[in-house]
Amino acid sequence: MRNIGILLSGRGSNFVAIADSIAAGRIPDARIAVVISNKPDAPGIAVACKRSFEALVIASKGKAREDHDREVAASLKQHGVELVCLAGYMRLLSPWFVQQFPRRILNIHPSLLPAFPGLEAQEQAFAYGVKISGCTVHFVDEELDHGAIIVQKAVHVRDDDNERTLAARILEQEHLAYTEAINVVLDGKFEIVGRRMKLRTQNSG
């Protein structure tokens, strides 16, 4: 049984999607070992409690980044977490934290990176007038929205969309993409060449 740890700061819709995927057998042999929020009032924590997951608040307010990260990492390790999934975690991770879980931290971003990094990616894409946006699951490295890409899903922008309808359709794809990416990473049958993540074929070893 592989242990997944979730970090969130808000409602954690991707946390719920991961939990649902595990419950439905779409992520085999895995469980959510702990859900950690850096914000005491994150609605995702209430959901985690209601669903009887181990749920913790490790408040970040007023703490130096690495001090907070050390508390979080200690808790993740104590729960035997081998894969860390960010689900709307609104805090940059320190290089120290990233090194604790090499290629074991995933994030999801609501755009086709490298387009529209940062906050409100869906709104950025809508305002830019792209005809295709989407979402990206990537490994987390020391830079914001930057690590090697695992899965991307495209979403067509419709003429009658507004920011909300577009964000809602992207969110549906996020849930599919995260499940797919978690399976790839837990299976371990991939290689990263430069920045390119590829599935390992039998020939390539």
- Binding footprint of its own copies on the chain (CB under 8 A): 112-116, 126-132, 134, 148-149, 151-154, 159, 194-199, 201
The residue behind tokens 């980044």 is: 65
Contacts 24+ apart (CB under 8 A), 58-65: 60/91, 65/91, 65/92, 65/94
Q: Which is nearer to its own copies, 25 or 205 (CB)?
A: 205
Nearer CB in complex with its own copies: 52/203: 203
DSSP state letter for 193: E
Instruction: Specify whether the CB–CB gap between 179 and 24 falls below 8 A.
Output: no
Of the pair 93, 112, the CB lying nearest its own copies is at: 112
Per-residue DSSP letters for 120-167? Answer: -HHHHHHHHT-SEEEEEEEE--SSTT-SPEEEEEEEEPPTT--HHHHH
Are 112 and 154 in contact, with CB atoms under 8 Å apart?
A: yes
CB of 30 to its own copies, least distance (A): 23
The backbone region for 6, taken as left when phi is positive above 0, alpha when psi lies in -120 to 50, beta otherwise, is beta
User: For the chain, what's the residue count?
Assistant: 205
For its own copies, give the closer residue by CB, 61 or 131: 131
Residues 6+ apart with CB under 8 A from 11: 42, 43, 44, 47, 88
Nearest CB to its own copies, comparing residues 50 and 196: 196
Catalytic residue positions, numbered: 109
